[in-house]
Structure 1
Amino acid sequence: MDFSVESATATVVESFRDTRDPRLRAVLESLTRYLHAFVREVRPSLAEWNQAIEFLTAVGQTCTDTRQEFILLSDVLGVSMLVETVNAQQTGTAGTVLGPFHMTESPPRALGDSIDLIGGARRCVVSGWVTGGAGEPVGGAQVDVWQCTEEGFYDVQQPDLQPPGNGRGLFTTDDDGRYWFRTVVPSHYPIPTDGPVGRLLEATERHPYRPAHIHFLVTAPGYEELTTHAFVAGSPYVDSDAVFAVKQSLVVDFTESHDESAAAAFGVATPFIHARFDIVLQERL
């Protein structure tokens, strides 16, 4: 059969007929149909198609051990958040994107430890409970957190200025499902714009900013893994996140406290910023 505009899709789909993995076959067939439909609709010139290939090549070449440009591309196109949403737990805390900076392991820390290793000014305590859908405490849950500094940079972005593991910590909830740690209030920040994704944003006149947030990745036996954020209420760009990840239920008040007893319990001095972020996990079926 001659390869033509009319026969192209059926020809390629048929080429996957002997694929043993049914899921792989289904994915490739669907991908082919949608990609061919895109080409028929847009009718890219050969120069434009080569430009697209060069762009994707540049995205891959920008990836390093501490930078994932393909995740960044997925994020700014809303694909990461869409995948997260279609796979989200049906109950409990809303999920969001992993983001491109979960590239190194968070160091294990004891409850109450500080993840701020450079002495930021806006001292903050984040605390909460991890529970199941029926309100049962989830003791022994792993709560992996990571965030940027007050200036808006992650440790992997400033290896000469920040010690490895700054802004990161792996905590284990106590028997009551409670966790708490000390940190600083993070800043809003731009996603990296010095690569091909940045050039895409510039070409489309989109801003690169994310509102201030702390990342959480929570796991516990018998429960679905949860990736989420605590967004700082009132942060710039909370209504126009460059990666579309904000959900209203995840916007958290970071409130100044003068409570001496609370400060003593958390091991800080007054005044301090306190944010409570409770996390509800969905039981694994």
Structure 2
Amino acid sequence: MTDHILDPTPAPAPAPPSGLFEAERSAEIVAASFAGTADERLRQVLGALVRHTHAFVKEVGLTTEEWAAGVRFLTETGRTCDDTRQEFIMLSDVLGVSMLVETLNNPADGRFTESTVEGPFHLVDSPPRALGDSIDEAGQGGEPCLVTGRVMDADGHPVAGARVDVWQADADGFYDVQRPGEVPDRNLRGLFTADDDGRFRFRTIVPNCYPIPTDGPVGRLLRATGRHANRAAHLHIEVSAPGIRTLTTHLFVDGSRYLDSDAVFGVKESLIRAFTRVDDPARAAEHGLPNPFRHVDFPVTVRRDTEP
């Protein structure tokens, strides 16, 4: 017994895990194949993706036919994307993934304006406009509206010269890119520069609720699950400036339909505002609006880069 304990011969090294496939160890085997990934974050993400995907397949007992149908669905989703439509973003939106990622990465902490999804209709080249300009170039109806606001940091200091990018649907629930040839290019879009006090203002019309496009695979998914495709009425607002973290948010119309069942889960209570009716001819003339008109004020609090 003593001789055996003192035997200097080293024990054989344990055999490396087999790469041969086994259903019981499928996630472990596949995740191990990424062990040599130099990028630690990529290795972490791929490992988690494999674990959760394999767990999903096992939990639902995915059939070969269902797997093939899923591949076809994703393939068609990719083919539906073009320069003005991003079907994969819409898929992420209707599954609530976009809102979850946006919210986790931009915590409001009760101090900052809450963020929401950018959506599939944002364009990177909104037309620059002067403060007070109208973004409604089509003039095809809708209640005239004045939007005002002020960009500040958490300490109440104004963010002078902040860029305020806005875009919205029209009174019929369409974006300009959905009506090419019918409305002016870049209608109901504008890029404004806040003044030295962080204030901005522009004229527009009260937006209407609208359905996201349903002529593609995402639309079929909604119909198959008995869900509607409608978004509550809102304006998109994206605020950026040197030294602050870009904020993408919405301004929702109080009283709009679908506030509690928005198709992309984009509504947060703090972003709902009353569009107050103003009956004041002098004030309407001051802003170049017909009387009466609607007014909404939307202060925006942004996070400085120095904030944790």
* Bucket of the pairwise TM-score, normalised by the shorter protein: over 0.9
The corresponding residue for 1:32 is: 50
Query: What secondary structure sits across from 1:283 in the alignment?
Result: coil
Q: How many residues align?
A: 285
Query: C-alpha distance in 2, partners of 1:18/1:64?
Result: 36
Query: Could you tell me how far apart the structure 2 residues matched to 1:208 and 1:47 are?
Result: 27
Determine the structure 1 residue equivalent to 2:137. Answer: 117
**2:222 alignment partner, SS class:** helix
SS for the counterpart of 2:24 is coil
Which residue number in structure 2 is paired with residue 76 of structure 1? 94
Q: Secondary structure at the match of 1:7?
A: helix
Matched, 1:4 2:25: no
Are the equivalent residues in 2 in contact too, given 1:108–1:170 (CA < 8 A)?
A: yes
Give the Cα separation in 1 of the matches to 2:280 and 2:102: 38
The offset of 1:74, in angstroms, is 0.4
Q: Secondary structure at the match of 1:72?
A: helix
- Determine helix, strand or coil for the equivalent of 1:182: strand
Contact 2:126 2:191 in 1 (8 A): yes
SS in structure 2 opposite 1:218? Answer: strand
- Give the corresponding residue for 1:153: 174
**Structure 1 runs of 4+ off > 4 angstroms?**
none
Cα pair 2:230 2:262 within 8 Å, conserved:
yes
Alignment of 1:172 with 2:193, yes or no, is yes
> What pairs with 1:44-123 in structure 2 (closer than 5 Å)?
44-90=62-108, 91-119=111-139, 120-123=141-144
Give me the whole-angstrom Cα distance separating, in 2, the residues matched to 1:138 and 1:145. 17
Contact residue 150 and residue 299 of structure 2 kept, 8 A: yes
Distance 2:125 2:92 in 1: 22
What are structure 2's unaligned runs of at least 5 residues? Answer: 1-17
Residue 237 of structure 1 aligns to a residue whose secondary structure is coil
Contact persistence 1:89–1:224 (CA under 8 A): no
Conservation of the 8 A alpha-carbon contact between 2:149 and 2:201: yes
Query: Which structure has the greater CA radius of gyration?
Result: 2
- Once the two structures are TM-superposed, the CA of residue 85 in structure 1 deviates from its matched residue by 1.1
Secondary structure in 2 aligned to 1:199? Answer: helix
Contact 1:67–1:103 (8 Å) recurs in 2: no
Q: 1:57 Cα deviation (Å)?
A: 0.5
Q: Percent identity?
A: 56
Q: Per the alignment, in what secondary structure is the counterpart of residue 51 of structure 1?
A: helix
Partners in 2 of 1:98 and 1:263 — Cα distance? 32
Give the match for residue 3 of structure 2.
none
Question: Residue 212 of structure 1 aligns to which amino acid in structure 2?
Answer: A
